[in-house]
Structure 1
Amino acid sequence: MVGVLLTGTLLAVLNLTMLSPALPAIMADLGVDATTAQWLTSVYALVEAVVIPLSAYLVGRFTTRQLFVTSLSVFTAGSFLAAIAPNFWVLLLGRILQAACTGAVMPMVFTVILLVFPREKRGTAMGVIGLIIGFAPAVGPSLSGLLVDSVGWRALFAIVTALGVVVVVLAFFLLHNYGNFARTTFDKLSVALSTVGLVCLLYGLSTFASTTNMALTLALIVVGVVLVALYVRRQLKLPEPMLNVRILKTRPYATAACVIIIVQASLLGTEVITPLYIQGTLGFTATMSGVAMLPGAVIGAFTGLVSGRLFDRFGVRKVAVPGVLVAVLGASGLARLGIDANFITVVLTYTTLVIGLQFTMTPLNTWGVNSLDNRVIQHAQGLSNTMNQVAGSFGTAVLVSVSALSPMVAPEAPAFEQAYLGEHMAYCTTFGLMCVAALVIIFLVRDRKGVAAAGAEAAGEEPADYSAGISGVTVDGTADESFDESRVYRAVDVMNREPVCARDTDTMAAVIRLMDVSQTSGVPVVNEAGDLVGFVSDGDVAAYLGRAEISLTDAMLNTYRYVDDEAEMTRLRELAALNVMNVATRRVISVAWDTPVDEVCSLFAAKRIKKVPVVRDGKLVGALSRRNIIRSLAEGIELLEK
């Protein structure tokens, strides 16, 4: 069942990313210019953003099987229509059908996949799914270039059609209805304002360089801006807004959102310009244009993971600043490419740009979301998704429109030189955008003092505060020496030297009994050698036993909620049989035995936790709680008074 859902999702993502290298061939075959052809890319993201609000209504009204089979059937029909398209407008209609179905079914697919896996394996499952989905942008352009050169651009849609038929047949026989999704309403006026506003704004921006009626184009842009502004105003007045735009008042989140918009626009716009430059100016094949973009896509997919881990360790500034400087370097290299540039040079500069952008986006997004209250995280994800999709469409439209200005700049130049000049101007625009992003990051992005980056945030997830609510152990340690004003007191001086702990081979039934007997709300987990390998709290137990209510937000709407109605005793029976490491947090906040007490206090305040394990050479030697510190302070005050 998961395989069918994931295959359909992978097909949709692959279909989005494999079109760019085919644009020059489509332009030549159907007789359209680059400004018009880019709509095949822009319209996909735009229509998906417009349709996503409807997914809430669709998921609540139709069953899993009905919605998935119907959506994939229409998606397949759109692919077939694009494969046989006699002109550009039929091809565009096929892309619109594909995008509409993707926007309708994707939220449901991810929610069902999340619910199918047991609680203790959902994080791993979603990580694997994310890696599989992220692989599509890496192979899409190369596969597209090979097919365009060997068979023709229509083969792209023919293959997607055939695969779509296979997925629909498999879904018909293997897919079952899963989950009881509540019906969700949405504000119709908000949807209308956002839909019409975005379409007017993007269409006006896209046709700015090639329009024969500038007054109409400017009017569309103005109307789009006004309608989007009215949409934002309505969200501010609704008691339950579809999208909580008030979170933009939080400065770190607003800063991160602005930079990511610039970065996303630059990345997707450059992905469209680069194949045009490689094939049209340098004279290479579509296959070679796909090969040129492959290293950046592959390395970029893993760069996001690396930058997340670096963010966990060093914070946002030490990762984002070098990342954006690398992006500026790559963009400057693209802006310096000549009319006869070497292919390897193009590959290296494009890859440098992509690596820098990936190093910038992940830490910035996490830093921005971390600045918000947990209650509005879902709105942050929805707003970010909307802005990213629109930014991609805008970036493509802007760079292609800039490239189309070359006949105005050099009307006497040959067509070949005009094409190069347009692409050069687009690359210079990318360089300018990267410089703006770099300045914003350098002057406005700061790590919060005393706050280390939390674990799991690189994946865009809420960090697990596994120590929250812990009240401490029952036996308090005491200092082993008399009080001295000049002495630096360390964790070892005030910690509990006989901490209650569990073994990594214990079942949760044994751990729960241990927590009850020792009257502690959380225990470290050690292996046979005494190494600290995890931490389990009563909060982890409650999270497993609690009735799960999952809410996913995509683009402009809180899409839908699912309530897990599994029987309480069934959940308890499953929990009791689990190994403790299936529930325990493995990324444990701990302190070394010689950490000064004032640093431990700063850690407690910054992380809002009450207890940490104390380690020496990786082995558990004690536990330190707020109660230990208060007791030590009380004894110190008594000595001072004497």
Structure 2
Amino acid sequence: MSAAIPERPAMKAGRTPTVVRLLVLATFVVILNETIMINAIPRLMDALRITEQAAQWVSTAFMLTMAVVIPITGWFLQRVTTRQAYAIAMGVFLAGTALSAAAPSFEVLLLGRIVQASGTAVMMPLLMTTLMIVVPEHDRGRVMGNVTLAISVAPALGPAVSGLILQVGSWRMLFVVVLPIAALVTLFGLRSMENIGEPQVSSIDWLSVGMAAFGFGGLVYGLSLFGDSGSDGNVGLGIDIGIVLAGVAAITLFVIRQRKLQRTGAPLMDLRTLGHRTYSLSLILMSVGFMAMLGAMILLPLYLQNLRGLSPLETGLLVMPGGLGMGLLGPIVGKAFDRYGSRPLVLPGSIGMVLALGGFTQVSMTMPYWQVLGLHALLMVSLAATFTPVFTLGMGGLPPHLYSHGSSMLGTMQQVAAAFGTALVVTVMSARTSHLVADGVAAGLARVSGMKLAFGVTAALALVTIVVAAKLPHRTTDAGTHDPGSADADPPVGEHPGQGEPITANET
């Protein structure tokens, strides 16, 4: 996707290119499946006669596969056309959805989820890279607001959508409903989509692929086990820490390898993206934001269903307004960013995130449901005000030949942050609950106390977003494509074998 871009007619003001609209729709459908199984855990346990720990793998395996596949997408998107990438990604996703719907056993269901995630992993980098190429800088905020709907709102709405479907059908309906929708989106997209740029033949370093798979996969896998080990004893926890450390070691070797390959211009994941200050700050803020969002998404269903006795449908309806509000605000926030810049949005959004998570530290067995709804809505609205400008600033702070690598790294870090956020809140909650139960506190009160502490930890981490938000530039043009102090960030454009030809400023 970093190939030379032919001259294109100027995009009309206020219009979103058809190719971006199609990719947003497809990305929404596939990313929705990352969290759609959260409410189905009890049904899976009964239907397939598996433990809760095993059932959690339908979500964990999805995140794990995304973390392994996304680092390869930067190379993949350079070798194929837009239509080919779209057809392959959606075809793989459809195959995984059909396999999951018909799965006769848990093992086959798990395989279907892995296949689903392999297709999903391509869609977000494809969308982000295409958007940065075809949308002019002055209109990116508005268009990125629509992208927020797919990238951020889809996982937020997953539990709500699954709650509604599970009310009228079995867990298989979660896949049966998605399958025809995804098939129609695929067919319509292939009929209407244009190719953006030309593919470039480039080599791939398979040693880097192995390091990335073992490193990012091991890190996400180890983090996902922390919650189960929190109450299982020191032996299990020690093994999980060992897996995480092995993953970190592999990532360290991966980084060293990429730094070496950058001298030849053909790294699997170009780390020169991190030499751009605006992109690096955006990456930090997005990662912490996803950590907070996924942590809250795990804790709230546990609180509402296990402690307050709500059904999956009631839980879904309670959190749906926040998810819908986030989606509806995405385009509005994008237009506000184009007009006013980032400061009136990102800093208030970060503060709102901290206030919402801080409010959740007061959960109790008698907290009014309207307060839960209000705090969740405040969290989602705050994330909407934050994500769109930060996406736009971060990607806009990169030169065009690094777009595919920047979007690939952003997607990878989102999966790692989601796994870390989930592991963190479950581990903190479990450890606190076990400690209080051992001291003779009633189980219900102990779990409430554990949830309060878990929300408190996420609120403390979210304070980082306020600090980072204050350092971000007001607009993309303030950041430039070459941040000061990053001498090795980018060699002269055109000296990247396998990275495509130069792209001039007026072509973006």
- Shared fold per TM-score greater than 0.5: yes
Q: What stretches of structure 1 of length at least 5 have no aligned partner?
A: 464-548, 550-556, 565-582, 586-642
The residue aligned with 1:207 is 225
- The 1:163/1:308 distance shift into structure 2, 3 A limit, reads closer
Per the TM alignment, residue 97 of structure 1 is displaced from its structure 2 partner at its CA by 0.8
- 2:162 corresponds to 1:144: yes
Deviates more, 1:324-333 or 1:370-379: 370-379
Counterpart contact for 2:67–2:216, Cα < 8 Å: no
- 2:38 corresponds to 1:11: no
The residue aligned with 1:160 is 178
The residue aligned with 2:290 is 264
- The 1:168/1:320 distance shift into structure 2, 3 A limit, reads closer
- 2:306 corresponds to 1:280: yes
Per the TM alignment, residue 387 of structure 1 is displaced from its structure 2 partner at its CA by 1.7
* Counterpart among 125, 136, 150 of residue 133 in structure 1: 150
- 2:475 corresponds to 1:453: yes
Counterpart contact for 2:149–2:330, Cα < 8 Å: no
Where 1:208 maps in the other structure, the secondary structure is helix
The residue aligned with 1:234 is 257
Q: How do residues 383-532 of structure 1 correspond to structure 2 at under 5 angstroms?
A: 383-405=409-431, 406-411=433-438, 412=440, 416-417=444-445, 419-438=447-466, 440-441=467-468, 445-446=470-471, 453=475
Counterpart contact for 1:42–1:396, Cα < 8 Å: no
Counterpart contact for 2:292–2:421, Cα < 8 Å: yes
Per the TM alignment, residue 359 of structure 1 is displaced from its structure 2 partner at its CA by 2.6
- The 1:93/1:124 distance shift into structure 2, 3 A limit, reads same
For residues 313 and 168 of structure 1, what CA distance do their matches in structure 2 show? 34
Counterpart contact for 2:215–2:248, Cα < 8 Å: yes
Counterpart contact for 2:100–2:113, Cα < 8 Å: yes
- The 1:426/1:561 distance shift into structure 2, 3 A limit, reads farther
* Counterpart among 239, 248, 269 of residue 243 in structure 1: 269
- 2:355 corresponds to 1:329: yes
Deviates more, 1:209-218 or 1:388-397: 209-218
For residues 340 and 87 of structure 1, what CA distance do their matches in structure 2 show? 40
Q: How do residues 37-436 of structure 1 correspond to structure 2 at under 5 angstroms?
A: 37-55=55-73, 71-85=89-103, 87-104=105-122, 107=125, 130=147, 133=150, 136-137=154-155, 140-164=158-182, 174=191, 178=195, 180-211=198-229, 212-238=235-261, 239=263, 240=265, 241-249=267-275, 251=277, 253-308=279-334, 311=337, 316-366=342-392, 379-405=405-431, 406-411=433-438, 412=440, 416-417=444-445, 419-436=447-464
Where 1:184 maps in the other structure, the secondary structure is coil
* CA displacement 1:50-91 (0-9 Å, x = unmatched): 223444665677777776555544433322332344554433
Where 2:364 maps in the other structure, the secondary structure is coil
Q: How do residues 532-543 of structure 1 correspond to structure 2 at under 5 angstroms?
A: none
Deviates more, 1:21-30 or 1:274-283: 21-30
For residues 98 and 192 of structure 1, what CA distance do their matches in structure 2 show? 21
Counterpart contact for 1:256–1:364, Cα < 8 Å: yes
For residues 326 and 4 of structure 1, what CA distance do their matches in structure 2 show? 32
The residue aligned with 1:533 is none
Counterpart contact for 1:279–1:286, Cα < 8 Å: yes
Counterpart contact for 1:49–1:389, Cα < 8 Å: yes
- The 1:264/1:155 distance shift into structure 2, 3 A limit, reads same
Per the TM alignment, residue 156 of structure 1 is displaced from its structure 2 partner at its CA by 0.6
The residue aligned with 2:3 is none
Counterpart contact for 1:268–1:392, Cα < 8 Å: yes
The residue aligned with 2:5 is none
For residues 559 and 41 of structure 1, what CA distance do their matches in structure 2 show? 35
Q: Percent identity?
A: 29
Deviates more, 1:8-17 or 1:328-337: 8-17
Q: Which is greater in Rg?
A: 1
* CA displacement 1:136-189 (0-9 Å, x = unmatched): 4565443321111221322111222344455667789x5899564223322222
The number of equivalent residue pairs is 463
Deviates more, 1:310-319 or 1:191-200: 310-319
* CA displacement 1:311-335 (0-9 Å, x = unmatched): 5566545543332222121111111
For residues 256 and 296 of structure 1, what CA distance do their matches in structure 2 show? 23
For residues 423 and 18 of structure 1, what CA distance do their matches in structure 2 show? 22
The residue aligned with 2:9 is none
Per the TM alignment, residue 367 of structure 1 is displaced from its structure 2 partner at its CA by 5.1
Per the TM alignment, residue 297 of structure 1 is displaced from its structure 2 partner at its CA by 1.6
- The 1:437/1:129 distance shift into structure 2, 3 A limit, reads closer
Counterpart contact for 2:224–2:423, Cα < 8 Å: yes
Which letter does structure 1 place at the counterpart of 2:243? Answer: L
Which letter does structure 1 place at the counterpart of 2:99? Answer: L
For residues 255 and 191 of structure 1, what CA distance do their matches in structure 2 show? 26
- The 1:257/1:4 distance shift into structure 2, 3 A limit, reads closer
Where 1:26 maps in the other structure, the secondary structure is helix
For residues 195 and 14 of structure 1, what CA distance do their matches in structure 2 show? 24
- The 1:409/1:197 distance shift into structure 2, 3 A limit, reads farther
- The 1:69/1:287 distance shift into structure 2, 3 A limit, reads same
Which letter does structure 2 place at the counterpart of 1:183? Answer: V
* CA displacement 1:97-136 (0-9 Å, x = unmatched): 1001222466557778999x99999979956963763664
For residues 194 and 226 of structure 1, what CA distance do their matches in structure 2 show? 11
For residues 369 and 114 of structure 1, what CA distance do their matches in structure 2 show? 7
Q: Quote the RMSD (CA, aligned, Å).
A: 4.4
Which letter does structure 1 place at the counterpart of 2:240? Answer: T
Which letter does structure 1 place at the counterpart of 2:44? Answer: I
Counterpart contact for 2:281–2:472, Cα < 8 Å: no
- The 1:227/1:339 distance shift into structure 2, 3 A limit, reads same
Which letter does structure 1 place at the counterpart of 2:178? Answer: V
Which letter does structure 2 place at the counterpart of 1:205? Answer: L
Where 1:283 maps in the other structure, the secondary structure is coil
For residues 366 and 66 of structure 1, what CA distance do their matches in structure 2 show? 26
* CA displacement 1:15-57 (0-9 Å, x = unmatched): 2343333344435555666655444334323322422344466
For residues 447 and 170 of structure 1, what CA distance do their matches in structure 2 show? 39
- The 1:558/1:346 distance shift into structure 2, 3 A limit, reads farther
- The 1:355/1:403 distance shift into structure 2, 3 A limit, reads same
Which letter does structure 1 place at the counterpart of 2:384? Answer: Q
Counterpart contact for 1:35–1:206, Cα < 8 Å: no
Per the TM alignment, residue 422 of structure 1 is displaced from its structure 2 partner at its CA by 4.0
Q: Name the structure, 1 or 2, with higher relative contact order (CA <8 Å, separation 6+).
A: 2
Counterpart contact for 1:35–1:397, Cα < 8 Å: no
Which letter does structure 2 place at the counterpart of 1:330? Answer: A
Counterpart contact for 1:379–1:558, Cα < 8 Å: no
